Structure 1
C-alpha cells in the first residue's frame, strides 16, 4: 500500500495533524493507523484539561511560561516553551471550531480550573473527561473528511529505512530516511508494508512498562522503541512522571483509575494514615505543588508509615459541586463503596507520563528524514525534567500544527527548481517514476514457526513490570539501577530469541517494545548523576552544576 501521508496513532496529536493535511490537500490521501479501536488512546483518558492563557486580564503568557519553566527544573527549552504557550490559544480555538465543548458558567464564560504548579486558573475542561470530549469531536471531524482512511487493529512492526534496502545504517549514518512502515494486519495475520513520503509518529506513552499506571493497555512505547531500533535519537527517558493520585484498589494491577489533580485544585487535601495533612512539611505550595514533589511526598509517607496508600479528603467540599465537576470520579468511587461526602479516597502514585521520548526540533522533525513525531512519544523540549499539569494536550495541538506546516513547506520545496536532491546515503525511492513497492522488500518470515506457549510472553511482561516498578520507580539508586539493567538484559536476550524463531504477534511486539523502553529509562537514569525533576537518586540527592539532556 502507498499513501501520501501516513499517521501512526489516533490520539489528539495524530488526529489534528491528519485533519489539517486532509483539509489543505483535498486531492491527497491521508492514512491513519491504530493498533486498537480509533478512540483507544491516552487522549481519551486525560481528565484534567488543557492549560491555556485565555484571560489576559488575570493571566499572562509570561506567567504560564514561568510556571512551565519552574516545573521543568532547568531542562526546558525556553524557546519551545514560548512557542507552545503563545501559539496555544489559536490551536485550542481550532478544536473548539471542530466541535469540542468546554464547561461554561451561567454567563457563558469558560470555567477555568487550577492544578499543581499553576499560578493562575487557566485549565479548560469538560467535567472530568476532557480528553474523551476532545477525542469525540476530532473523530467526528475525521469521519467527515473523505480523503482520510482509518485502519484499525493494525500493529506497526518497524520503520522502513535504507537499512531494509541493503545499506549499512548506524547511529552515525548521515541522512537516515523513513519510507514508511511494516505492519501486522490483525485481520489477515500477515505483515504488510505501507509506504509514504512523510510519516508521523503519534504513538503515545509507555506507562505499561510499570506494574501500575494510569495509561491504557495500548501505551507500550511502540514509537520510541521503533525509532531507537532505526538508529534515531531518543532523549531524557529517565523522566517518568508518576501521577500522585491514582485510585488505590487492593491487589489490582495494570491500568489504575486516575483521580485528576483538579480535585486538589478545587480543595481536596492529602492526608496520611494518621489523618495528618502532610504536604505542608514538604512544600509551601502544599497539595498544589508540582507533581514530582507531591508524588515523592506521598511515597515518603507510605514508606514511613508502612502503608500502601494515603488519603485524599474531599469531605469538606460541596457535594453537588463535586458531582458536577467530577461525575465520573464520583460514580467510580461510589461503585467500590466510597461516598466522597463521607469517606476519604485511597490514592497512591502510578506511572502517568513520559517527559522524554523521540528527540525532535521545533517543527516536530526527528533525526530521521521524512519522519515526524509529536504528542507523548516526542521529546520537544517543553516539559524538561517534569511536565506541568495539563500542558500535554496543548503541546500535542501546537506540534501537530507545526508538523503539518513543515510537511507543507517540504512539499513546496520538492516542487521548486531549487529542491535539494537527496544524498547517496538516502535514496529517493519515489523519484523518477519508480515503483517503490518493488524496491522495498517484503517482510521475510522464513524459518519461523507458530508460538507454542503464550506464557513465555506473559511471564516476561510481569517480570519487566516488576523490575521497573521496584527498581526504577519514584526513588532510585545505583544498586537498584544496576540490578534492573542485568534483568532487562536477560529479558532482552530471551525475547529476541523468541522474536527470531516464531511468527510475530501483537503481544510479542509489545513486549519487545516495552523491553527496549525499559532499557532506555534505566540507561538514562544511570547516566544522570544527580537528582532533578522526576529523577530522584538517593546516591546523588543534589542537582549537578551542569544541566544537560541525556541523548541515547
Structure 2
C-alpha cells in the first residue's frame, strides 16, 4: 500500500510524554520545524500516571547536608554497578535547571507551610529530595504544563498516528518515518532527525502500572533501523501496586512509594513486618529489594498479596497527601485510615532501551531517543525512585540541542534521499499468550528452564503478518521486545538489580557489564560489543 500523503520537518518527535514534549519545545525555541507524532492523543501516555515526584537537589531548597553528589551516590547504589557514572553526573547536575525551566512553563509543585517546596523521601534515597505536585499527581501536573506550552506555541501534533518504520537512505541514515493513521492509512514524514520518546514496555506483562500504550513500539522501530539496545533484561517491578483480585489484569493503580516515605510499613497477613532485617533502609530499600522481599513472603505464606499499613496517618491526612491513591482504594472498598492497603508487585519501568548518549544520539545517524525508551546509563540495573521524570526533562532538552547542532554541522541526511517505505511484515504473537508467558517465566524470579519455555511459546505462537494496523504494529513490537528480553535474561547468569535468577542467585562480577544487542542483516538478534557509552558524546 503506497503512502497516502507526505509531510516534512526538521525533527519528528514520537511520543508526548515528558521527554518528547520537552524535546519538542526546546527544538522549537532553537528555530527547528518540529512535528510531534503520537498514537493516542496529546497528553496521553505514561507521564500522567507518575505519582511520586521528581528527585532533584535544588539550590537553597534542599535538606541540610544533601548534595547532588549524594543523589548520585544513591543512584549508583540502586543501579547495582551498571550505571554510567558520567551519565549520572551530567543528568543529575542539570536537574535543578530543568526543573526551574519546567516551573517557568507553568508547573506548580506542592509547598510547605514556610512557602518552600515540599519534599518527601522514597526508596533508595538518603534524603528528602523528591518534590511533588497535587500530593501524588506529579506526572499529571508535569504533563499539564508541557501540553499547555505546546498548545500555546503552537507545535503541530499528529494524533492517532503510530510510527511503523524509519525511512532510511541507501547508506542507512534515518531520514523520516512511515506512520499509520487510526484506520491504517499510511503516510510519510520526511525529516533528517527522528527522536523516539515512546515510553516503556509494561504491556509485556499481565499486571502493570503502565497504560495500554506501553507496547515497546520505539524499541522495535529502533532495532529495525539498525540501533543497539542494552539492559533490556532489567525490568523494574514496583513493589506496591493496588491489589484488587487475583484475576484482574492490565493497568493497575500505583500506590506511590512516597506512602512508605511518610511512614507506612509492609506487613504480611499475620501482621509481621515484611522488610524487617532485609535491608538497612527497611521499607525504604531500593525497589528491587522490596519487590523481591514481597515476592518471597507471598511464596512463603501462600498469599497473592501483602499489606501496606498507613493507618498511622489518619484519614484526613492520607486523603490530603495522597488523593489519587485514596480514590483508587475507595474504588475497591478499602479505607486506608482504618485498614491496610492490599498490594503486590507489578511491572513498572524498563531500565534499558535504545543505547544512547545523554544527548540522545544513537549509533544510527538521524535517530535519537530520550526518556524511558532510551538507555542513557542513568538507571543501570535498577532505577532509583523518581529519577525518571528528571531524566526526561534533562535528556529531552539535550537531545533537541543535539539535533540542532548536528543539523547545523551538516551531519544529517537529506530527507530527499530516503528510500520508499511500505509497512513491513514481522512476527506477531497473540498478546494474551505472550503476557501470560512473560508474567509466569520472565517477571520477578527467573530461571533457565522458564526463560526457554517462554521462548518456546513465542516461537510456536508466532505468525508473520504485515504491519498494517495499530494492533499489528504493537503486537509485533511486543514480540520483538519479549524475544530480546528473554535472550539477554537467559545469557545473564547472575542476579543483579531487578534481574533475579533463582538458578543463579548471586551477583557475579564477571557480568559487571551491559549486553548490547542488535539485529543482523537477516533480522536475527545478535550480541555486539558496546559501541556507544552512556556518557556525553
TM over 0.5: yes
Q: Is the 8 A contact 1:46 1:132 kept in 2?
A: yes
How far apart in 1 are the matches of 2:481 and 2:343?
A: 27
* One of 7, 12, 15 as aligned partner of 2:18: 12
* One of 177, 183, 195 as aligned partner of 2:190: 195
Q: Is the 8 A contact 2:192 2:414 kept in 1?
A: no
* One of 232, 235, 240 as aligned partner of 1:245: 240
Summarize the Cα distance change of 1:261–1:107 in structure 2 as closer, same or farther, 3 Å threshold: same
Task: Indicate the residue corresponding to 2:231 in structure 1.
Answer: 236
Matches within 5 A, 1:203-214: 203-214=198-209
How far apart in 1 are the matches of 2:332 and 2:454?
A: 35
Q: Is the 8 A contact 2:237 2:288 kept in 1?
A: yes
Task: Indicate the residue corresponding to 2:42 in structure 1.
Answer: 38
Whether 1:443 aligns to 2:443 is: no
* One of 463, 466, 488 as aligned partner of 1:524: 488
Question: Mean alpha-carbon deviation: is it higher for 540-549 or for 131-140?
Answer: 540-549
How far apart in 1 are the matches of 2:423 and 2:392?
A: 36
Q: Deviations over 1:448-503 (max 9, x none)?
A: 9xxxxxxx98x8100000000000011011111111111122233x1x2xx14xx7
Task: Indicate the residue corresponding to 1:3 in structure 2.
Answer: 9
* One of 54, 66, 74 as aligned partner of 2:73: 66
Secondary structure of the residue aligned to 2:276 is helix
Q: Is the 8 A contact 1:241 1:351 kept in 2?
A: yes
Task: Indicate the residue corresponding to 1:171 in structure 2.
Answer: none
Structure 1 outlier segments of 4+, above 3 Å: 55-58
Task: Indicate the residue corresponding to 1:551 in structure 2.
Answer: 516
Secondary structure of the residue aligned to 1:158 is strand
How far apart in 2 are the matches of 1:192 and 1:335?
A: 42
Q: Deviations over 1:335-364 (max 9, x none)?
A: 221111111110000000000000002311
How far apart in 2 are the matches of 1:106 and 1:541?
A: 47
How far apart in 2 are the matches of 1:405 and 1:350?
A: 35
Q: Is the 8 A contact 1:74 1:384 kept in 2?
A: yes
Q: Is the 8 A contact 1:67 1:118 kept in 2?
A: yes
Task: Indicate the residue corresponding to 2:258 in structure 1.
Answer: 262
Matches within 5 A, 1:106-185: 106-126=113-133, 127-146=135-154, 148-162=155-169, 165=170, 176-185=172-181
Query: Aligned-pair distance for 1:444?
Result: 6.5
Task: Indicate the residue corresponding to 2:108 in structure 1.
Answer: 101
Matches within 5 A, 1:74-473: 74-126=81-133, 127-146=135-154, 148-162=155-169, 165=170, 176-187=172-183, 189-250=184-245, 251-414=247-410, 428-430=413-415, 435=416, 440-443=419-422, 460-473=430-443
Q: Is the 8 A contact 2:71 2:125 kept in 1?
A: yes
Secondary structure of the residue aligned to 1:156 is strand
Task: Indicate the residue corresponding to 1:417 in structure 2.
Answer: none
Q: Deviations over 1:30-63 (max 9, x none)?
A: 1000000111111010000000002353310111
Larger radius of gyration between Structure 1 and Structure 2: 1
Q: Is the 8 A contact 1:192 1:443 kept in 2?
A: no
Whether 1:536 aligns to 2:497 is: no
Q: Is the 8 A contact 1:232 1:366 kept in 2?
A: yes
Query: Aligned-pair distance for 1:311?
Result: 0.4
Summarize the Cα distance change of 1:442–1:406 in structure 2 as closer, same or farther, 3 Å threshold: closer
Q: Is the 8 A contact 1:9 1:33 kept in 2?
A: yes
How far apart in 1 are the matches of 2:409 and 2:9?
A: 19
Summarize the Cα distance change of 1:442–1:550 in structure 2 as closer, same or farther, 3 Å threshold: closer
How far apart in 2 are the matches of 1:442 and 1:523?
A: 29
Query: Aligned-pair distance for 1:442?
Result: 4.9
Q: Is the 8 A contact 2:30 2:404 kept in 1?
A: no
Structure 1 unaligned residues grouped into runs of 5+? 168-175, 415-419, 423-427, 449-455
Q: Deviations over 1:252-271 (max 9, x none)?
A: 11000000000000011101
Secondary structure of the residue aligned to 1:270 is strand
Q: Deviations over 1:381-401 (max 9, x none)?
A: 000000000000111111112
Q: What is the TM-score of this pair, normalised by structure 2?
A: 0.91
How far apart in 2 are the matches of 1:394 and 1:86?
A: 11
Structure 2 unaligned residues grouped into runs of 5+? 1-6, 518-537
* One of 451, 454, 459 as aligned partner of 1:484: 454
| Count of residue correspondences | 504
Q: Is the 8 A contact 2:91 2:358 kept in 1?
A: no
Task: Indicate the residue corresponding to 1:173 in structure 2.
Answer: none
Q: Is the 8 A contact 2:178 2:423 kept in 1?
A: no
Query: Aligned-pair distance for 1:319?
Result: 2.6
